[in-house]
């Protein structure tokens, strides 16, 4: 199967998700700095969500670029990942509308937990689709970030009951954990392009 269609479709979905998120931002009700200041929490949640979508897009791009083959199971796993990411704008808006209340903040974490779980599933299926000696299969066999992130998201979701801002802080830390892409994937892509 041709991976180019998977990449093109995924890129389009990511672009739509980012567009929907920015359209959800509301302008301040007034013309003063105070009016603008009341929108800062909403803007910060948008920034965090934007960073997460960007992280998933970059890592997805590198993962698929390092891949030499896809199959139907991989296509479905990719659709599953895109489904969970497509819910990010909805849950971002929910957190914004309710000023970081416990249940919306916990649900926000559940969405990202499902994104990480879906990304991990995609990694597993891609690893199995390749011979164990290929760089992509070796890299994916040693991938730990998804497992660590899963535990951190579960802790953050539970902490929302204690204080939502603790959860939001953990979400920020997890995003920082993923900001730098896996250099091994970048090297594998370079090897494929030679």
State pLDDT tens for residues 59-117: 999 999 888 889 999 999 999 999 999 999 999 999 988 877 999 999 999 999 999 99
Q: Averaged over 128-142, what is the pLDDT?
A: 83
Closest CA to 112 of 131, 86, 135, 138: 86
Q: Does the predicted TM-score (pTM) go above 0.85? A: yes
- CB neighbours of 191 closer than 8 A, spacing ≥ 6? 135
Domain spans of the chain, in order of start: 3-193
CA torsion, ordered 132, 134, 138, 139, to nearest 10 deg: -150
User: Between the CA of residue 3 and those of 132, 184, 188, what are the distances in Å?
Assistant: 20, 20, 16
Q: Give the CA radius of gyration of the chain.
A: 18
What's the pLDDT at 194? 65
Closest CA to 85 of 54, 42, 41: 54
Q: Averaged over 175-193, what is the pLDDT?
A: 84
Distance in angstroms (rounded) separating the CA atoms of residues 167 and 185: 30
Distance in angstroms (rounded) separating the CA atoms of residues 159 and 170: 9
Q: Averaged over 144-155, what is the pLDDT?
A: 93
pLDDT band with cut points at 50, 70 and 90 for residue 152: very high
What's the pLDDT at 111? 98
What's the pLDDT at 186? 83
């Amino acid at each position: 199967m041709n991976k180019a269609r998977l990449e093109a479709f995924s890129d389009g979905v990511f672009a739509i998700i980012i567009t929907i998120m920015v359209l959800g931002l509301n302008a301040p009700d007034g013309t003063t700095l105070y009016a603008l200041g009341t929108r800062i929490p909403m803007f910060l949640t948008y920034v965090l969500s934007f960073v997460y979508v960007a992280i998933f897009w970059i890592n997805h791009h590198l993962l698929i670029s390092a891949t030499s083959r896809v199959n139907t199971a991989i296509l479905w796993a990719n659709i599953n990942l895109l489904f969970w990411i497509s819910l990010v704008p909805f849950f971002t808006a929910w957190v914004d509308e309710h000023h970081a209340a416990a249940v919306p903040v916990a649900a926000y974490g559940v969405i990202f937990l499902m994104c990480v779980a879906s990304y991990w599933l995609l990694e597993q299926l891609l690893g199995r689709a390749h011979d164990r000696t290929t760089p992509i299969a070796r890299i994916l066999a040693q991938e730990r970030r998804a497992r660590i992130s899963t535990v951190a998201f579960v802790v953050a979701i539970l902490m929302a009951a204690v204080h939502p801002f603790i959860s939001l802080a953990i979400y920020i830390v997890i995003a920082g954990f993923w900001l730098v892409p896996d250099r091994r994937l970048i090297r594998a892509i370079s090897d494929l392009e030679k």
